[in-house]
Amino acid sequence: MTAGFEHILNWRLLPGSHAFPGPDGGTCINEAAIVAAGLPYRAVTASSDLPACFSKPLAAYALGLNDAMPDAERPRLMAFVLRLSGSADAPAVEAERTRFLAEQSIRRILPPLLDRAAMPDLAARCEGAAGLEAALAAARAAAWRGGTAADAASRRRAWMAGALAASVGRAATAAIAAAEDARYAAEVAEGAAPFVPGTWALAATLLDEALGIGRQAGAIAPAEARDRLEAART
C-alpha cells in the first residue's frame, strides 16, 4: 500500500461532498485525488461525478469508506490519493474489481462479525466460500439468520444481542448488493466495525488489493501533488 507521504500532502479528509476545499483543505478522498492529479476541482457526491479516468467501482468503494469511517480512521485513506486518477479500465476489468470487493468482503470482513454473533458455522462458510456465487449464497444465509436473530432478541428485549444480530443482517445484505455496486462493500465494513476491531484497516487493505487489479494509475510525485493541494486552498 502506498504510504509514508501522507504528512507531506497535509490535507484533511472529511465525509460528504464539498463545493470547494477551503483554507483547511477539507474534502473527500475522491475530491482530493482530483486535485492531486491536476484536474479541475469538482464536488463528488457519487461515482458518476468523477472524471472518466477514475475507476468507478474503486472510487465508489473509496467514497463509501470515506463517508462511513470515523474521523480517527479516515486519514488512512490518504494513502490512496495518488492512486485513483488513471485507474479506469475496460468494463470487464471494472466488473472483476466489483466482484473482488464483494467476494472478499464476504470472505474476510463478515466472518469475524459472525463469530462475534455466535454464528461460527456461517463464519466458516463465508470464509471458505470458493468463488463469488458460493460467497453470495453464504451471505444470503447470514442475512436471513441475522434478521431472524435480531427479531428474536427484540422480543426478549435483549438489546445488545439484537444490535449485533441486526448488524449481521445489514452487513450481509450489503455484501449481496456489492456484487452489483461496489459502494455497498463499504457498508459491509460499516456494519462490522462497531463490533470487530481492525475492520477499517482490513477494508483499506481490500481497496489496496482491488487497485492492483488491471490498469495502475500513473505515478504522481508527492511534492507535485502537495503543491496542487496547497494551491486549491486558495
Please write the tens of the pLDDT for every residue from 21-62: 766 667 889 988 998 898 888 888 887 889 999 999 999 999
Q: How far apart are CA 75 and CA 66, in angstroms?
A: 9
Other beta carbons within 10 Å of 44: 25
Residue 192 corresponds to which cell in the numbers above?
Answer: 462490522
Residue 106: its H or E element = none
**CA 127 from centre of chain:** 19
Q: How far apart are CA 143 and CA 173, in angstroms?
A: 6
Angle between helices 199-211 and 183-192 (to 10 degrees): 160
pTM for this prediction: 0.91
Please write the tens of the pLDDT for every residue from 110-161: 999 999 999 999 999 999 999 999 999 999 999 999 999 888 878 888 778 7
Give SS3 for 195. Answer: coil
